[in-house]
Amino acid sequence: MTQSFDFAHAPGHLIRRAQQIAVAVFAEHLAAFDVTPVQFAILNALMDAPGTDQVSLAARVAFDAATFGSVIGRLETKGWVRREASPQDRRRKLLWLTPNGKKALIEMAPLVTQAQALILQPLQAQEQQQLVALLGKLVSALSRV
């Protein structure tokens, strides 16, 4: 008899489970805003770089450009994002936070900070720093794959 693969200790499985938990914690903390982690990342990126085009913004938040438009549409419906055609190329869509989007982002930020702290809570301070550094290293190295 062959032994089954020990997926419970496989890095991919553990990363997927950690991601599921992180999304659940995020959703619980931000339930009043009905916002996803990707939507929050988009709003945050637009705060830093207003007028960014959709394709560049999708790359910046590491989200599939093909489905990015529908996510932006949901943020537009909430009144948090404004989308306009570029004057130089009407096919290119430029994005800005609305005043309501900025207000919502400012209100969400402390809740996101709380959620992130809760995710790392089982670890000691040094382990938290180490985990974040190692995840950053993985993402940086494997983003090129």
Q: What is the pLDDT of residues 3-18, one digit of tens each?
A: 888 888 899 999 999 9
5 three-state secondary structure: coil
Q: What is the pLDDT of residue 15?
A: 93
State the Cα–Cα distance between residues 42 and 71, nearest whole angstrom. Answer: 9
Per-domain boundaries in the chain: 7-142
Residue with tokens 């549409």: 73
Mean pLDDT of successive 10-residue stretches along the chain, which has 145 residues: 81 93 96 95 95 91 88 95 87 92 97 97 96 94 78
Distance CA 22, CA 145 (A): 24
CATH assignment, 7-142? 1.10.10.10
State residue 85 phi and psi, 5-degree precision: -70, 145
- For 3, the 3-state DSSP assignment is coil
- pLDDT at residue 143, rounded to an integer: 85
Q: How far apart (Å, rounded) are the C-alpha atoms in residues 129 and 113? A: 15
- Number of C-beta neighbours around residue 111 at 10 A: 18
pTM: 0.89
Q: How many CB atoms are located within 10 Å of the residue 12 CB?
A: 8
User: 3: alpha, beta or left, given left = phi > 0 and alpha = psi -120 to 50?
Assistant: beta
Give the whole-angstrom CA distance, residue 26 versus residue 119.
9
